[in-house]
Amino acid sequence: MLLLFIYTDRLVLGDGLGVKDVFQLMTLAKGLFLAQNDSACCAMRRLHALCEKHVHDAVEPSNAGEILSEAKKIGSKRLQNDVFVALANMKLLHDTDFIKRLIAALEHDQELLAMAISAAAGNLQVLPVYSQNSSIPPPNLLRDLESMLNTARQADGKPLKETGCIDCRLIAKAESKQELAAHRFMLIARSEYYKGVLLTSLAEAKSGEIRTSLKPEPSVGSMKALLTYLYTGKTWPEGQVMTAFDWLDFLALLDGPGGKNYLLLAEQECSRLRTLALRCLESELAPGDSWALLRKAIIRQNDAVKSIAIQSVLKSSPEKCRDPVRFKAWSGAFADMDWWTPELEADLLREFVRGYCLYILG
C-alpha cells in the first residue's frame, strides 16, 4: 500500500485488506512525517490523513469495536470520537448482536467499553483532541515530477556517468550534440514505444541513448515539450515559447510520419494531444511562415497541418495565388532548406492546387 501511494499519491486498498492494515499504514506514515522537518506539506502527512478519512468512512456496527481498539492503540482520539458519534447516531443499545461484538472487541479495556456503550445509549462523551485540523493536505505528486524533470534538464549534455540516477538521453540533433537527459524508468512507464526500445537487447537499451529517426530532426523545443508531457502530463515547458514549427515537430514525435501514434500511447490520450497540438500550432502560425510550414508538413506527412498551412497561405495573400509570376516568386522564397528536393516541390504544388480548389469550391 505504501509503494502504491508513493507512485500515485492516492490511497489504494486491495482486496483482503482490513482495518488493522490501514491502522498499520497510519502508524508508519505518522512515524515518517514526524521525522521530517517540512511536515506541513510532506507526503506522509497526506497519507496519514487519507487513512484516517478511510477509517472514518468505514465505521459500521460490525467493526466499531475493532476501530475503537486500534484507534486507542495508536493514540488517535479523533477516530475514537468519530466512532462515538457514529454509535450515538446508530442507536444500537438494544441490538444484542452489536453489544456482543462490542464486548468481544473491547473486553480488555473496560473504560473504552463503557464509553462505547454510553455513546450507543446517546450519552456522547467527546475526548479532547490536541489539533482540530483534519483536512487532507493537497497531493505533491505533480510537484515531485516537475522536480524530477528540472533535475533532468540540469543534466542536459552531461555524460550519463556524471548524472546520478538519470540514465537516459534523447538525442535531438546529432550534428550539434543536443542531448536531453531523462530517467529511463519514466520513459518506460509512459510510452510503450520507449518500453520496447529500453527493455530489449537493442543498442539503445545498453547505451541509454535514443536518437530520433525523423528527418529533418525535430527541434529541441519539441523534444523538451515531449519530455514535459511524459513527466508531468503538461504539454509544454513553463516559460518556453513554442512556435508553429515546434508544434509540428511535437506532432511528428508523437505520431511519426503520417499520424500513426508512434509513441504507442493510449488512443484516446493520443487523440487529445493531437487535437491540442494542432490548436496551439494554428494559434502560433504567423502568415509569413505558412509556406515554410507547408513544406515541413509535407515531409512530415501531416495532412492536418498541410490543410492549416494552405488555408493560411490563401487567406493571407489570395491575389498572389491568381498571378503565376508573383505566385512562383512568393512560393519559392522559402525553398532553401537543405532537406527540400524537387520531388517534394512537386508534391507541394499538387497539395496546394488541391487545397486551392477546395478553397474556391468551399
Number of other CB atoms surrounding residue 78 within 10 Å? 17
Read off the pLDDT of residues 178-228 as tens digits, 9 standing for 90 and up.
Answer: 789 999 999 999 999 999 999 988 888 888 889 888 888 899 899 999 999
Contact present, 207 and 245 (Cβ < 8 Å) = no
Which pLDDT score is estimated for 290?
86
- Strand (E) positions, the chain? 168-173, 178-182, 209-211
CA-wise closest residue to 356 among 305, 314, 299: 314
SS3 state of residue 207: helix
Read off the pLDDT of residues 62-73 as tens digits, 9 standing for 90 and up.
Answer: 999 999 999 999
Cell numbers given for 172? 535531438
- Terminal Cα-to-Cα distance of the chain (whole angstroms): 59
Q: Is 61 exposed, middle or buried (0-12, 13-18, 19+ CB in 10 A)?
A: middle
Q: Is 352 exposed, middle or buried (0-12, 13-18, 19+ CB in 10 A)?
A: buried
The mean pLDDT of 338-353, rounded to a whole number, is: 77
The mean pLDDT of 309-313, rounded to a whole number, is: 87
The mean pLDDT of 233-238, rounded to a whole number, is: 79
| Whole-number Å distance between alpha carbons of 80 and 106 | 13
Q: CATH 3.30.710.10 spans which residues of the chain?
A: 140-284
Is pTM beyond 0.85 here?
Answer: no
Read off the pLDDT of residues 20-69 as tens digits, 9 standing for 90 and up.
Answer: 899 999 998 888 876 555 544 578 888 989 999 999 999 999 999 999 99
Superfamily of domain 140-284: Potassium Channel Kv1.1; Chain A (3.30.710.10)
